[in-house]
C-alpha cells in the first residue's frame, strides 16, 4: 500500500528508493513524491492524492515529522495554534510522545527525523494495521510499506526464508513479524522504533498494550446500549470527504451495521457472489431497506486463475490466493466508490469469534504457550505469546495479532491498493470498551446481537443472516439453534463434496482439465522455482489427489500456487500486473 519508502544511514546515492516507492502505486490516484534527501536520509512517499492531509509534516529546528495514514481524532488531539503534526513533534521534544500516541485513533505510520542527535524514529498505529517493513544491515536502516520494495534496494541481499514455507502452506498466512525475506520484519503494533547512527542500534518500545484496558462493571443491558452508541459513532466518524464513500455489503451482521449507521448519508454499496447466493439476496434486501444504491457483481469470470495473480503481487505473496475471490473486480468497484467502509474483524471485536477453536471456547484467559500451540500447532514458534503486549485475560488479541493482522488484514490490503479501506470496528474507543467486558458477554455474539437489535431494529429483526438463514432476534432460542445447526451441517457437507455455497467453486474449477493442466505445469518440480526452497512436491502432495477426488485439497493447492507465483514475480519478474512489468 502507499506509504514511506526510505533508507537511513548511508552516504551513497540511492535512486532505487524511488524505484521501491513506485512499486507501491496501483492506481492513477496514487502518486510518488520525494520528502527528504541528505547525506543520511533518503525518503519518498507514495500517497492517495484525494486523501492526503496538508498538515502531515512539520519541522522544528533540525527535527522533522512526516505522517502517513488517517487519524480520526486529529482535531481533539491538536494543540491550539498548532497543526496536528506540530503537536506530535512538540510531544516528541517534550518527552511525552508515548502518552500522546496512546490517545490517537487511526491507522498510520509516523517518521521523525532528528538530525541533531542523528536518529530516526518510526511509529506504528496501536493495532499495527498499516503494514510497514524494516531491515537493518550494513549500518543502515531500510524501510518500506511493501515487501517487494526490498527487491530493488541495493545492496540488499534478497534471500527467501525457507523455514516459513510450511507455515504458510499449513495456515494460509504467516505469523508474528516474520516475512518471506531474511532480515526483513513487519513492524509491531504500537511500536516506537528508534535507529541511531551514533551506535547503529535499533531499539523498540511499545507505547500501548492490552493491559491498559480495565474491566467494566456495567450490566449486560447497559453494555449492549453502550456498544450500540460507540459503534454508531465509529462508523459516522469515518464517513467523510468530498468523494464517494461506500460499503462492501455482505449478508452478515458487520457490514449491515455500517449501512444502518450511515445510510442517511447515502453511501453506495456493492456485493459480489454467485447468482442467488444468500449473501447477494440478503445484501439486496438490506440495501432496499436502507434506500441506498446497490451493485451486484457476478463473481464468475472466465480466467479465474490468472486474474488472481495480481492479488498475489499486491499482498506480497502473504495471502493464499484461494481467498482472492474478487481480484478481477477491483477496478470495476473503484468506478462506483472512492473509499470503502469495511466490516473488518467486527465478528471478532464484538462477536467473540476468535475465542472459539476446534469446538473449544477460551474465555477470560490470557494466551500462553499451550494455547498458542492449540491455535497454530508447531508454527506458533513464529509468534511470541509471552509478549507483554498481550497482557490481558483474553485470547483473541493474540489471534487478532496473527490471523487478523496477517491473514484477514492481507485481504483488506489487496483491496486497499485500489480502493482505500476504513475500518470502523477498529475504533479505539469501541475496542477499549469491547475488551473491558467479560468474555461471556461477547461469546456467540450475545451482547453484539442485543446492541444491533436495540440500535438498528429495522435492519435486524426480520432480515436473516446469510450464514444462519435466521434473523438474530431468534438467537439463543431452540428454533435458532436447530436451524443454524441444520444449515451449518448442509454447508459442511457441501464443502466436503466441493459444492459452492456463495462466492466461488474453486474446488471444481481446479479439476477442470485446462486449469488442472496449467496448475500442474506451474507446480511441476522440473519447471517450478519453489523446489529451490523446499523438498516438498506440491503437485504430488496436493494437486494430484485433489484432481483424482481423493480429498479436498483446494486451499493447499492454491497456497502452493501462491508461493510459486510470488517467487516468480519477485525473483524472475514473471506474472506481474502490467503496470508493474519491468
What are the tens digits of pLDDT across the range 532-541? Answer: 999 999 999 9
Confidence class of residue 478 from pLDDT cuts 50, 70 and 90? Answer: low
Q: Find, among 77, 35, 80, 41, the residue nearest to 58 by Cα.
A: 35
Q: Is residue 325 part of a domain?
A: no
Q: Specify the pLDDT at position 202.
A: 96
DSSP tally for the chain: helices H, then strands E: 24, 19
Q: Specify the pLDDT at position 483.
A: 59
Note whether 165 and 71 are same-domain residues: yes
Of all residues in the chain, what percent are helix, strand and coil, respectively (each to 5)?
45, 15, 40
Cβ atoms of residues 270 and 249 within 8 Å:
yes
Q: Is residue 247 part of a domain?
A: yes
Q: Is residue 163 part of a domain?
A: yes
Domain boundary among 209, 232, 260: 209
Note whether 194 and 71 are same-domain residues: yes
Q: Is residue 526 part of a domain?
A: no
Span 450-479, average pLDDT: 86
How far is the CA of 501 from the CAs of 148, 278, 494, in angstroms?
A: 35, 8, 7
Q: Specify the pLDDT at position 582.
A: 40
pLDDT over threshold 90, residue 274 = no
Q: Is residue 300 part of a domain?
A: no
Confidence class of residue 467 from pLDDT cuts 50, 70 and 90? Answer: confident
Cβ atoms of residues 258 and 461 within 8 Å:
no
Provide the domain limits for residue 11: 4-209
The CATH number covering residue 62 comes to 3.60.20.10
If residue 523 lies in a helix (H) or strand (E), which one and from where to where?
Answer: helix 513-523
Q: Specify the pLDDT at position 501.
A: 55
Note whether 122 and 254 are same-domain residues: no
The total domain count for the chain is: 2
Residue pLDDT, tens place only, 434-453: 999 999 999 999 999 999 99
How far apart, in whole angstroms, are the C-alpha atoms of residue 521 and residue 519? Answer: 5
Phi, psi of 544 (to 5 degrees): -60, -50
Note whether 224 and 343 are same-domain residues: yes
Domain boundary among 466, 484, 499: 466
Average pLDDT for the chain: 94
Note whether 253 and 201 are same-domain residues: no
Enter the pTM of the model.
0.94
Residue pLDDT, tens place only, 84-129: 999 999 999 999 999 999 999 999 999 999 999 999 999 999 999 9
Question: What contacts 24+ positions apart, CB below 8 Å, involve 96-99?
Answer: 97/192, 97/207, 98/192, 98/205, 98/207
Note whether 202 and 223 are same-domain residues: no
Q: Is residue 227 part of a domain?
A: yes
Q: Is residue 172 part of a domain?
A: yes
Note whether 411 and 350 are same-domain residues: yes
Note whether 23 and 167 are same-domain residues: yes
How far apart, in whole angstroms, are the C-alpha atoms of residue 527 and residue 537? Answer: 12
Domain boundary among 209, 237, 260: 209
Note whether 229 and 345 are same-domain residues: yes
Residue pLDDT, tens place only, 331-366: 999 999 999 999 999 999 999 999 999 999 999 999
Q: Find, among 345, 385, 352, 347, the residue nearest to 366 by Cα.
A: 385
Span 458-466, average pLDDT: 94
DSSP annotation of 187: P
Amino acid at each position: 500500500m502507499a506509504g514511506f519508502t526510505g533508507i537511513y544511514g548511508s552516504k551513497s546515492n540511492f535512486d532505487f528508493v524511488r524505484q521501491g516507492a513506485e512499486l507501491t502505486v496501483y492506481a492513477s490516484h496514487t502518486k510518488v513524491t520525494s520528502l527528504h534527501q541528505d547525506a543520511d536520509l533518503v525518503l519518498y512517499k507514495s500517497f492517495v492524492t484525494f486523501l492526503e492531509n496538508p498538515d502531515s509534516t512539520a519541522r522544528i529546528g533540525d527535527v522533522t515529522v512526516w505522517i502517513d495514514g488517517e487519524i480520526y481524532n486529529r482535531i481533539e488531539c491538536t494543540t491550539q495554534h498548532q497543526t496536528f503534526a506540530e503537536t506530535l513533534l512538540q510531544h516528541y521534544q517534550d518527552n511525552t510522545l508515548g502518552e500522546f500516541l496512546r490517545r490517537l485513533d487511526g491507522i498510520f505510520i509516523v517518521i521523525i527525523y532528528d538530525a541533531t542527535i542523528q536518529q530516526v524514529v518510526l511509529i506504528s498505529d496501536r493495532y499495527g494495521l498499516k503494514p510497514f517493513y524494516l531491515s537493518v544491515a550494513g549500518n543502515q536502516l531500510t524501510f518500506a510499506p511493501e515487501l517487494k520494495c526490498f527487491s530493488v534496494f541495493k545492496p540488499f541481499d534478497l534471500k527467501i526464508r525457507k523455514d516459513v514455507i510450511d507455515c504458510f502452506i499449513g495456515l494460509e498466512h504467516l505469523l508474528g513479524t516474520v516475512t518471506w525475506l531474511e532480515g526483513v520484519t513487519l513492524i509491531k503494533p504500537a511500536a516506537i522504533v528508534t535507529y541511531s547512527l551514533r551506535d547503529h542500534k535499533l531499539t523498540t518500545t511499545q507505547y500501548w498494550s492490552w493491559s491498559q484496558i480495565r474491566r467494566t462493571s456495567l450490566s449486560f443491558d447497559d453494555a449492549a446500549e453502550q456498544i450500540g452508541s460507540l459503534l454508531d459513532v465509529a462508523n459516522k466518524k469515518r464517513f467523510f470527504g468530498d468523494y464517494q464513500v461506500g460499503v462492501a455489503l455482505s449478508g452478515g451482521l458487520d457490514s449491515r451495521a455500517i449501512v444502518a449507521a450511515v445510510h442517511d448519508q447515502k453511501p453506495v454499496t456493492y456485493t459480489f457472489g454467485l447468482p442467488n447466493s444468500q449473501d447477494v439476496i440478503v445484501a439486496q434486501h438490506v440495501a432496499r431497506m436502507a434506500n441506498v444504491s446497490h451493485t451486484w457483481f457476478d463473481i464468475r469470470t472466465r480466467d479465474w486463475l490468472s486474474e488472481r495473480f495480481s492479488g498475489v503481487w499486491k499482498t506480497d505473496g502473504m495471502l493464499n490466493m484461494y481467498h482472492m475471490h474478487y481480484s478481477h473486480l477491483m477496478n470495476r468497484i473503484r468506478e462506483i466508490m472512492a473509499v470503502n467502509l469495511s466490516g473488518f474483524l467486527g465478528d471478532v471485536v464484538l462477536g467473540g469469534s476468535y475465542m472459539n477453536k476446534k469446538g473449544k471456547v477460551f474465555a477470560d484467559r490470557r494466551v500462553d504457550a499451550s494455547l498458542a500451540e492449540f491455535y497454530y500447532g508447531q508454527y506458533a514458534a513464529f509468534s511470541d505469546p509471552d509478549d507483554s503486549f498481550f497482557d490481558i485475560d483474553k485470547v483473541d488479541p493474540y489471534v487478532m495479532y496473527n490471523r487478523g493482522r496477517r491473514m484477514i488484514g492481507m485481504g483488506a490490503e489487496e483491496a486497499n491498493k485500489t480502493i482505500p479501506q476504513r475500518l470502523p470496528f477498529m475504533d479505539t474507543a469501541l475496542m477499549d470498551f469491547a475488551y473491558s467486558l467479560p468474555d461471556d458477554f461477547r461469546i456467540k455474539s450475545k451482547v453484539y446481537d442485543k446492541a444491533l437489535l436495540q440500535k438498528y431494529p429495522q435492519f435486524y429483526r426480520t432480515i436473516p443472516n446469510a450464514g444462519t438463514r435466521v434473523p438474530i432476534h431468534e438467537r439463543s432460542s431452540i428454533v435458532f439453534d436447530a436451524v443454524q445447526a441444520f444449515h451449518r451441517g448442509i454447508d459442511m457437507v457441501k464443502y466436503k463434496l466441493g459444492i459452492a455455497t456463495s462466492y466461488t467453486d474453486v474446488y471444481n474449477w481446479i479439476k477442470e482439465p485446462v486449469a488442472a493442466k496449467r496448475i500442474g505445469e506451474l507446480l511441476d518440480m522440473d519447471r517450478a522455482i519453489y523446489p529451490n526452497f523446499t523438498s516438498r512436491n506440491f503437485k504430488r502432495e496436493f494437486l494430484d489427489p485433489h484432481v483424482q477426488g481423493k480429498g479436498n485439497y483446494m486451499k493447499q493447492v492454491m497456497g502452493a500456487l501462491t508461493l510459486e507465483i510470488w517467487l516468480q514475480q519477485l525473483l524472475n519478474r514473471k506474472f506481474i500486473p502490467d503496470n508493474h512489468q519491468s
